[in-house]
């Protein structure tokens, strides 16, 4: 890659989009796009060029290739972990020198069973396909995919929350706390207020956005006014919000379901539930569509608006942005407000979509997962959607494989895989070293957090 804006595989001159991206995009290459040489070559050589481009992309390691190799490498390390925590496999390896083939076949069986179960649970189960040919339900084929979309929805939204903050040079570890803020407001509006059907849904969504946005805004405000590092403040606010949630859920006068001893809130009204598109049971929730729409909105904001340009400039260099007359503090506050709002929306899709009841454990790992999703998606909206879908699939597959192996392979394996994938994506130099790729600049993470020195 060179220091010119990317032109994509199409040998036409640069489109208006990359021109509108402005100076901050210069020197960066969009995920999946490859530098081609000078634009405006004759269209006749297109096919040959595409081939060259693909080969170049593979040998030099474009962002997409690095990501795919990172996923592959993570699956390999995960396989080792699966194999060597399986008692059958470890026993087989203890007799490796007498029966080497047996040890290897046991290892292969253990690993391939776990991964194929994961695939069947999350993407496609061949048995449902053959059943459909023999008069079974066609809809059942799409059941795994619809679960994946449902799982991906909150991850995409918290991923966007982290990603948009990254673009302005802030590391939002606080998506979890902002999620809780959104969940509290959505739940309260969900059961405490009576409104007509469609309006109730919208009010809850807006409420969740505001609930998260307030938390994010506070972080931005502290950063802008006092210089408090957002990493510390967001981490601490996460714990504050967990404790606040615990307090609210243990007092019936607050959010607790009456006559309950557990930390659990009442069900929200049916009016406030997000509807599903398509018939039961494989269906896509409105929540998923909201997440995709939010990704599109963030993409539009970042690429097409002055505010987005300011965010990216501040992210590239706060001091340069300040010299150029951009109000850096205002950008910090605004981007954290939006990040908080997106995390709050994530809570709304869970509370109004899949759970319909807030408990102390509702917040799960949406916040930390948002960080990994944003990093894997390279802090770009389209990347975040794809990464969210991948991690959604991993989550569904993890639960499925735990059930299929009767707990032999715990669903936590997914968390390990996620961590490994992002670790490898964040270190393209390692991937290049392992796969012997030629070294080029510019395919590392565009999303970098600022150190303590700001």
Partner 1 sequence: MTTVATAVRAPLTTERRRHLAAATFIAIGLINIGVFGALAHAGDASFELSLASASVKIPVIRVPAAPVCYALGAVALGLGVLRATVPLRRLAKRLAIAGVLVCFLVSLLCWADAGAIPLNVIIISQGTFTESIPLILGALAGCLCERSGVINIAIEGQLLFGAFTAAIVASAFGGLWVGLVAGSLAGGLVGVLLAVFAISFLTDQIVLGVVLNVLVLGMTDYLYDRLMSTNPNYNTGITFGSIKIPVLSQIPIIGPIFFDSTIFLYITYVAIIVIQVALFYSRWGLRVRAVGEHPTAADTVGINVLWIRYRNVILGGLVAGIGGAYLTIGSVGSFIPDISSGFGYIALAALIFGRWTPLGALAAALLFGFCEEMALVLPTVNPVLPAPIMNMAPYVATIIAVAGLVGKVRPPKADGQPYVKA
* Contact between 339 and partner 1 per CB under 8 A: no
Is residue 276 classed as helix, strand or coil in its secondary structure? strand
* Contact between 436 and partner 1 per CB under 8 A: no
Residue 12 or 243 having the CB closest to partner 1: 243
- The answer to whether the beta carbons of residues 423 and 5 sit under 8 Å apart is no
- The answer to whether the beta carbons of residues 10 and 34 sit under 8 Å apart is no
Helix axes 306-316, 328-349, angle to 10 degrees: 110
* Contact between 361 and partner 1 per CB under 8 A: no
* Contact between 451 and partner 1 per CB under 8 A: yes
Q: How far apart (Å, rounded) are the C-alpha atoms in residues 33 and 21?
A: 15
Residue 277 or 448 having the CB closest to partner 1: 448
* Contact between 325 and partner 1 per CB under 8 A: yes
What are the φ/ψ torsions at residue 359 (nearest 5 degrees)?
-120, 175
* Contact between 356 and partner 1 per CB under 8 A: no
* Contact between 371 and partner 1 per CB under 8 A: yes
Handedness of CA 313, 319, 323, 328 (dihedral sign): positive
Q: How far apart (Å, rounded) are the C-alpha atoms in residues 82 and 94?
A: 16
Q: How far apart (Å, rounded) are the C-alpha atoms in residues 209 and 340?
A: 7
From the list 2-10, 99-107, 280-288, 410-418, the region that binds partner 1 by CB under 8 A is: 410-418
Task: Name residues contacting partner 1, limited to 173-192 (CB under 8 A).
Answer: 173
Q: Whole-number minimum distance, CB 232 to partner 1, in Å?
A: 5
From the list 49-57, 200-208, 290-298, 446-454, the region that binds partner 1 by CB under 8 A is: 446-454
Token readout for 203 is 């009010």
Q: 300, 389, 341: which is closest to 218 by C-alpha?
A: 341
How does strand 284-285 pair with strand 276-277? antiparallel
Judged by CB under 8 A, which of 10, 329, 355, 364 binds partner 1? 329
Query: Cis omega (within 30 of 0) on the bond before 409?
Result: no
Name residues whose C-beta falls within 8 Å of residue 190's C-beta, 6 or more positions apart in sequence.
Answer: 200, 204, 268, 269, 272, 351, 352
Q: How far apart (Å, rounded) are the C-alpha atoms in residues 115 and 397?
A: 8
Name residues whose C-beta falls within 8 Å of residue 193's C-beta, 6 or more positions apart in sequence.
Answer: 200, 203
User: What is the DSSP-derived secondary structure letter of residue 324?
Assistant: T
Judged by CB under 8 A, which of 160, 201, 326, 373 binds partner 1? 326
* Contact between 141 and partner 1 per CB under 8 A: no
* Contact between 306 and partner 1 per CB under 8 A: no
Residue 286 or 328 having the CB closest to partner 1: 328
Q: Whole-number minimum distance, CB 318 to partner 1, in Å?
A: 8
Q: Whole-number minimum distance, CB 302 to partner 1, in Å?
A: 19
Task: Name residues contacting partner 1, limited to 236-265 (CB under 8 A).
Answer: 236-237, 239-240, 243-244, 246-247, 250-251
- The answer to whether the beta carbons of residues 155 and 353 sit under 8 Å apart is no
Q: Whole-number minimum distance, CB 227 to partner 1, in Å?
A: 5
Judged by CB under 8 A, which of 419, 435, 440, 442 binds partner 1? 419
* Contact between 320 and partner 1 per CB under 8 A: no
Q: Whole-number minimum distance, CB 429 to partner 1, in Å?
A: 4
Residues paired with residue 431 on neighbouring β-strands, in sequence order: none
From the list 25-33, 46-54, 189-197, 420-428, the region that binds partner 1 by CB under 8 A is: 420-428
Task: Name residues contacting partner 1, limited to 26-85 (CB under 8 A).
Answer: 81, 85
User: What is the DSSP-derived secondary structure letter of residue 284?
Assistant: E
Listing DSSP states for 74-122 in one string gives HHHHHHHHHHHT-HHHHHHHHTTTT-HHHHHHHHHHHHHHHHHHHHHHH
Residue 97 or 452 having the CB closest to partner 1: 452
Residue 133 or 452 having the CB closest to partner 1: 452
Q: Whole-number minimum distance, CB 55 to partner 1, in Å?
A: 25
Please give the residue ranges that form the binding site for partner 1 (CB under 8 A). 81, 85, 171, 173, 222, 224, 226-229, 231-233, 235-237, 239-240, 243-244, 246-247, 250-251, 322-330, 368, 371-372, 375, 407, 410, 412-420, 422-423, 426-427, 429-430, 445, 447-453
């Amino acid at each position: 890659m060179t220091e010119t804006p990317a032109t994509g595989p199409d040998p036409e001159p640069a489109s208006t989009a990359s021109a509108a991206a402005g100076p901050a995009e210069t020197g960066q290459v969009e995920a999946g796009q490859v530098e081609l040489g000078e634009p405006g070559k004759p269209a006749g050589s297109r096919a040959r060029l595409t081939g060259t481009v693909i080969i170049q992309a593979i040998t030099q390691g474009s962002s997409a290739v690095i990501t795919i190799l990172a996923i592959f490498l993570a699956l390999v390390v995960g396989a080792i972990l699966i194999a060597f925590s399986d008692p059958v496999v470890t026993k087989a390896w203890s007799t490796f020198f007498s029966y080497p083939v047996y040890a290897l076949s046991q290892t292969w069986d253990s690993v391939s069973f776990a991964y194929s179960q994961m695939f069947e649970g999350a993407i496609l189960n061949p048995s449902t396909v053959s059943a459909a040919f023999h008069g079974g339900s066609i809809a059942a084929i799409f059941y795994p995919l619809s679960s994946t979309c449902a799982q991906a929805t909150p991850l995409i939204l918290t991923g966007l929350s982290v990603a948009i903050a990254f673009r302005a040079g802030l590391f939002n570890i606080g998506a979890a706390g902002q999620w809780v803020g959104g969940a509290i407001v959505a739940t309260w509006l969900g059961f405490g207020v009576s409104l007509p059907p469609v309006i109730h849904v919208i009010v809850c969504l807006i409420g969740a956005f505001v609930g998260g946005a307030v938390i994010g805004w506070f972080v931005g405000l502290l950063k802008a006014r006092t210089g408090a590092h957002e990493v510390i403040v967001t981490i601490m606010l996460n714990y504050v919000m967990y404790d606040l949630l615990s307090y609210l859920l243990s007092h019936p006068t607050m959010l607790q379901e009456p006559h309950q001893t557990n930390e659990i809130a009442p069900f929200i009204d049916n009016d406030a539930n997000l509807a599903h598109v398509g018939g039961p049971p494989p269906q896509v929730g409105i929540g998923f569509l909201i997440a995709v729409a939010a990704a599109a909105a963030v993409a539009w904001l970042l690429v097409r608006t002055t505010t987005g340009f300011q965010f990216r400039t501040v992210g590239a260099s706060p001091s340069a942005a300040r010299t150029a007359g951009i109000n850096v503090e205002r950008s910090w506050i605004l981007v954290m407000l939006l990040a908080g709002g997106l995390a709050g929306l994530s809570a709304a899709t869970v509370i109004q979509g899949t759970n319909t009841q807030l408990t102390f454990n509702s917040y799960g790992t949406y916040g930390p997962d948002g960080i990994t999703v944003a990093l894997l998606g390279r802090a770009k909206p389209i990347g975040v959607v794809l990464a969210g879908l991948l991690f959604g699939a991993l989550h569904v597959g993890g639960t499925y494989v735990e059930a299929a192996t009767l707990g032999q392979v715990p669903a936590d394996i997914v968390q390990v895989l996620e961590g490994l994938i992002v670790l490898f994506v964040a270190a393209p130099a390692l991937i290049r070293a392992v796969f012997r790729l030629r070294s080029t600049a510019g395919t590392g993470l565009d999303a970098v957090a600022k150190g303590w020195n700001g």
